[in-house]
Structure 1
Amino acid sequence: DRRLIQSLGAQDFVRPTLDRFYDSPQGYWRIHYTTTGSDAVYQADVDNNGNGVPDYVETIGLIADSVYDFEVNQLGYPAPLSDATCPNNDDGKVDLYLHNIQAGFFGFTVADTNSACGFQSTPMSLPSWIEMDNDFQQISLYRNRPLDAARVTLAHEFFHTIHFTIDWSENRVLWEMTATWMEEQMYDDINDYYTIIPLFYDHPSRSLQSDVDLHHYASTVWALYLTEKYGSRDIIKHVWLRCGELGLNTPTDGGDYMQAFAEAIDSASGGADNLASDMNEFAVWNYFTGIYAADAPNALGFSEGANYPVIPFDSLDHVDTLPVFVVADSNSHNPDLNASTYIRFENVNITQDSIFNPRFSLSAFPNNWGISEILELRRPRDSNIVIDTFVVDTNIFDAAIPNPQQYRTITFVLTPVDSNGSHFPPPGSTFKPQIGYFSGDIAGPADGIIDSQFIAVPAAVLTPYPNPAVVPEMGGADLVFRFQVPTTDSALYEFTSMSLVVDLYTVAGEHVATIKEPVDIQIGARQDPHAFNVTYSMSWDMHNQSGHEVASGVYLAYARLYGPGGKQTLAEDRVKVAIIR
């Protein structure tokens, strides 16, 4: 990652000057190196065939050719844009510079932005070169096997030269996610990515679009999931080629890759799956890793999942006591957009022969949430996982799990999904999708009694009071508009955030006043989510919009009760009110 290198102080990205070069056997590469000083290649004095080229450099040439052949000739990606038009680089080969790279980094790829190179055929493409560490002796894992380090580095960095060719402007997240994926496609037995993926599993609620703390490298597990699920590497090629078709990006638009992923999934599944369903299923795969991989149902989970880390205990939201109520805006486990939250109910005291029906309140943005239920039977332990998956576009999700006492754990996986890359908040933003949830003790509220008057109450506009409003007899009181808020068959509020609006007009149709008031039902302090009041009111002081008293007469009132965010009309009515002064 060039920007990562820059953050550590290296700013001068001109081509290195090295005194020797070697052209690879198939002619794809020109490898620049030296045998002296701090940039000397590994075992620079070993030259068994006596041709003047260190054996290490010749082996690098063979590896580089095989990488080129795999990514271009076998997988079908476009060849890197030639640098033949660039000054002093008219060989047209892929240039690889072996030298001592600071801070123990493997390597990086740099675009040749010299205006003399030109764009050749399209402004989407740039020629580039690769710089790679000369001996990998600063990286302890590869000190005794530098060729393995060279293999994964070349697979990774050469894919970047292809990225520069397809769409140099695409978001860096896609670059590093897929370049790390490419390492595994070519060198499945090296598994260098094992060292980076803990950064993903430690933070399951961090967005797939995040580049914080190398998360974009660790997100390679998303690309691996798609490849394994659909049984083809072509889905990643589909994503990259589609990004190229969608055009140049700006630094603030988030890139095209989430849209491209959505389209690739639709194509690969024949329309059976979508981004929301796959991202949520991906989150379920991530639940069955490490020691839990063996518990996954058939055909679910990564082929190498037993070697992956598990999601840490404190990264899951654990519930072991009912009733429970968690307010959405104070939920410490709220996920980023295109990330997941795991809410696990474990060993809770659940009534025999009952239905477990927790309610989840989801923020209005994004429009789609993927939700999965992972049900782990108490006996026997092996192969007894039941999984149901839903995609919802509403703000309320009511689960209904019959006979819950048979399960040792009940885990809900919630994933807010949006394919518009620009919707992911910029660094420093405090926005997160929000999840609130509550559940009684199965039989009802804490005391086991539900007030029947609050069961299945419909939303309604009630009669204003008093009507007529005889002002001399009201003692300075206001005219009151009354509303009824809806509840479920379980006496739970349909919504805890609503708004009341009344527009008033004369009988001639002239606007007189508009009054508004929010309804914010506070349940938290009660520790009981069941309805305790369904009538809410709003007062009118019988003044117009300018603050003057209205005259005696008949007025037309258009009253509405809106759901969260004012997006849904729950109830409305037009009534006449009479005022007598």
Structure 2
Amino acid sequence: DLADALGLTQVQVLTYRGLMLVDSTRVPADLRPYLRVPLKGTTPLLFELRRVLNKIPPEEREILQTLYDRPPSSVLPLSVVSPSGHFRVHYTLDGRNAVQPDYPDTVAAIFDHCWQVEVDTLKFRAPPSDGGKDGPEYDVYVLDISDYGYTTAEEEVPSTPRDDWITYIVVDNDYQNPRYHTKGLNGLRVTAAHEFFHAIHFGYRSFLDEDVFYYEASGVWMEDFVYDDVNDYYQYLPSFFGRPEKPFNTYDGWHEYGLAIWNKMLVRLFGRDVMRQIWEQMIAGPRHVTPAIEAMDQVAQRHGDTFRRLLAEFQTWNYFTGRRADPEHYYKEGAAYPLLRPTRDVLLDSSYVARDSARALSGVFEHFEVQKSNAFRAALTFDTPAAWMIGVAVWDPEGQHWHQTLRPGQEADLGFLSTYTDFLIVPVNVSQNGAESRRRFQLEVSTRPSDYRPTFGVEDPTPNPFMPARHGVLEWCYRLAEPVDRAFFYVLDEHGRVLVKQDLGAKGDGFHTCRWNGRNDRGEPVTSGVYLLELVAGKQVGKAKVAVLR
């Protein structure tokens, strides 16, 4: 905790960080390096600071109050209304806040585009009206600032029972600050998308302390959704993949921004509406407040999944980046992401044993490179089995790769792995009980006896139900007990008619994956209903059912 490390109270930390925005000379020089506000971190700081203003000494409080005052017309005397009529952009052509003459119209057009995507297309609620302050439109003020931009929660909406707020947005006047990763109009674009989504957030509800991380993670996701070709979020990924063991809900000025890729996974699995479903769930219930993780779990259950299992799967997705990227099944831009830095790298000949622990909502990343071809298994034991899930990912340099999630008590049968195959095992502590929830585990990886043959079996198809328009591809993992010259994958309707026949070719023993896009062999989408999946590999036959929803 920063306050403890610096010998300050939490109120003092917030006070000094606020002063760093308006008058850094009032902050002790030796503390300034530790109290700089992260880029894109002004919005949550302003709201946290508002909560403690009455505890701050009067002199500092008077200075900090200026952070909440709208710029007066004496500072920004000019304004332009956006073509849609949704926004009024306030600006000046003189002094330190001056802009180029065409800049205000560009700002207005960019914010109009953000409204069109976030409200009209994604169907999020529009931000609450401010009752006509500085005009009936939503207000955007253009100033010379050292942050990308920020959203100020000005006052609560009096007409609703939930904790929602009226807001306005401030953006930079040129986006040329050396601190910015993305400069110029692209810097403006991602800021507009990010901050307008914060304005939407505050229209749902203000954040609980435990939820700040998700406001930022979803804000960064939105900026990349609206302007996919800018990729400003790449700047956060070296830190995110360099410290993957940080708890999921960490809020430290970097991790929460890199966590935007969690939302990319959710959208890939469940479709883009899942983001709105989470925010609607966050204002559900009698008090109109559901914590973000609880809301994510409730929405996941509607899709036949759980937050616990998804958290384990997320760790495996983060393995398939860089040279291991698979854009067809994992992150579409994964080739541009850094490789994950594991807790330990192990050159595996035959066996390995590790004992370790993990904090709540975090994992330990055990990474292996096979030095001698063999059949491998992994067994894990836990101090509190109910607190754990396990993610497993296997990457073969020749192209065969797969992932799975396991519950405690399920052995990880890794099958036959050839020399130089990489695999990752991540025990994930999925409990949410804070500092007391560090849990311990033991991992044992070993080879099978020379006469071992894997047992044949099929996993549950995922996702199920399968919504092709949202999910894109259904995956069905299976394990062969012996190699076959040819294997076949079939999809049959309820009358037993074959709709799909895939020749999978020759397959060795161990794990494999077949995939289906929800179309028949003529390329036509199948209708909603229950379908039978069938795998035939020599004498090995496996079956499963899947529900398709259109």
TM-score interval, normalised by the smaller of the two chains? 0.5 to 0.7
Q: Which residue of 1 aligns with 2:257?
A: 217
Letter in 2 for 1:82: S
Q: Which residue of 1 aligns with 2:382?
A: 362
- Residues 371, 158 of structure 1: CA spacing in aligned structure 2 closer, same or farther, 3 A cutoff? same
Following superposition of structure 1 onto structure 2, how do residues 113-512 of structure 1 map, counting pairs within 5 Å? 113=155, 118-139=157-178, 146-170=184-208, 171-230=211-270, 232-246=271-285, 256-267=291-302, 269=303, 271=304, 273-293=305-325, 296=326, 299-312=328-341, 315-318=343-346, 320=348, 323-327=351-355, 331=356, 334-348=357-371, 356-364=376-384, 367-377=386-396, 381-390=397-406, 392=407, 394=408, 398-404=411-417, 408-418=421-431, 423=432, 425=434, 429=435, 431-439=437-445
| C-alpha displacement of 1:318 | 2.9
Q: 1:74 aligns with which of 116, 121, 127?
A: 121
- Residues 389, 148 of structure 1: CA spacing in aligned structure 2 closer, same or farther, 3 A cutoff? same
| C-alpha displacement of 1:336 | 3.4
Letter in 2 for 1:373: V
CA deviations on 1:77-130 (whole Å, 9 max, x unpaired) are 111111117xxx16232111111113xx101111112xxx65222333110011
- Residues 441, 187 of structure 1: CA spacing in aligned structure 2 closer, same or farther, 3 A cutoff? closer
CA deviations on 1:229-263 (whole Å, 9 max, x unpaired) are 22x2110100001001146699xxxx611111112
Letter in 1 for 2:202: F
Q: Which residue of 2 aligns with 1:25?
A: 83
**CA–CA distance in 1 between the matches of 2:314 and 2:193?**
25
Unaligned runs of 5+ in 2: 1-40, 50-59, 451-550
**CA–CA distance in 2 between the matches of 1:199 and 1:239?**
26
- Residues 131, 363 of structure 1: CA spacing in aligned structure 2 closer, same or farther, 3 A cutoff? farther
Q: Is the contact made by 1:155 and 1:183 (CA closer than 8 Å) also made in structure 2?
A: yes
CA deviations on 1:416-475 (whole Å, 9 max, x unpaired) are 324xxxx352xxx4753333223467669xxxxxxxxxxxxxxxxxxxxxxxxxxxxxxx
1:112 aligns with 2:147: no
SS at match of 1:174: helix
Following superposition of structure 1 onto structure 2, how do residues 523-534 of structure 1 map, counting pairs within 5 Å? none
CA deviations on 1:324-365 (whole Å, 9 max, x unpaired) are 4333xxx3xx44333333212323567x6xx53443222417
**CA–CA distance in 2 between the matches of 1:213 and 1:318?**
31
| C-alpha displacement of 1:193 | 0.9
SS at match of 1:27: coil
**CA–CA distance in 1 between the matches of 2:214 and 2:240?**
15
Alignment RMSD: 3.0
- Residues 347, 2 of structure 1: CA spacing in aligned structure 2 closer, same or farther, 3 A cutoff? same
SS at match of 1:434: strand
- Residues 118, 158 of structure 1: CA spacing in aligned structure 2 closer, same or farther, 3 A cutoff? closer
Q: Which residue of 1 aligns with 2:478?
A: none
Q: Is the contact made by 1:360 and 1:437 (CA closer than 8 Å) also made in structure 2?
A: yes
**CA–CA distance in 2 between the matches of 1:74 and 1:3?**
25
CA deviations on 1:470-528 (whole Å, 9 max, x unpaired) are xxxxxxxxxxxxxxxxxxxxxxxxxxxxxxxxxxxxxxxxxxxxxxxxxxxxxxxxxxx
- Residues 121, 401 of structure 1: CA spacing in aligned structure 2 closer, same or farther, 3 A cutoff? closer
Q: Is the contact made by 2:313 and 2:404 (CA closer than 8 Å) also made in structure 1?
A: no
Q: Is the contact made by 1:375 and 1:387 (CA closer than 8 Å) also made in structure 2?
A: yes
Q: Which residue of 2 aligns with 1:502?
A: none
Q: Is the contact made by 1:98 and 1:131 (CA closer than 8 Å) also made in structure 2?
A: yes
**CA–CA distance in 1 between the matches of 2:185 and 2:423?**
47
Structure 1 vs Structure 2: percent identity of aligned residues?
Answer: 26
SS at match of 1:389: strand
- Residues 11, 442 of structure 1: CA spacing in aligned structure 2 closer, same or farther, 3 A cutoff? farther
Q: Which residue of 2 aligns with 1:35?
A: 93
Q: Is the contact made by 1:110 and 1:129 (CA closer than 8 Å) also made in structure 2?
A: yes
- Residues 11, 214 of structure 1: CA spacing in aligned structure 2 closer, same or farther, 3 A cutoff? farther
The alignment covers a number of residue pairs equal to 390
SS at match of 2:257: helix
SS at match of 1:112: strand
**CA–CA distance in 2 between the matches of 1:247 and 1:343?**
43
Q: Is the contact made by 1:167 and 1:248 (CA closer than 8 Å) also made in structure 2?
A: no
Unaligned runs of 5+ in 1: 44-53, 445-581
Q: Which residue of 1 aligns with 2:71?
A: 16
Q: Is the contact made by 1:285 and 1:300 (CA closer than 8 Å) also made in structure 2?
A: no
Q: Is the contact made by 2:353 and 2:443 (CA closer than 8 Å) also made in structure 1?
A: yes
| C-alpha displacement of 1:304 | 0.8
Q: Which residue of 2 aligns with 1:495?
A: none
1:97 aligns with 2:110: no
Letter in 2 for 1:153: T
Q: Is the contact made by 2:282 and 2:288 (CA closer than 8 Å) also made in structure 1?
A: no
- Residues 69, 424 of structure 1: CA spacing in aligned structure 2 closer, same or farther, 3 A cutoff? farther
**CA–CA distance in 1 between the matches of 2:398 and 2:444?**
30
Letter in 2 for 1:326: A
Letter in 2 for 1:259: E
| C-alpha displacement of 1:383 | 1.8
| C-alpha displacement of 1:56 | 0.8
SS at match of 1:413: strand
| C-alpha displacement of 1:4 | 6.5
Q: Is the contact made by 1:289 and 1:305 (CA closer than 8 Å) also made in structure 2?
A: yes
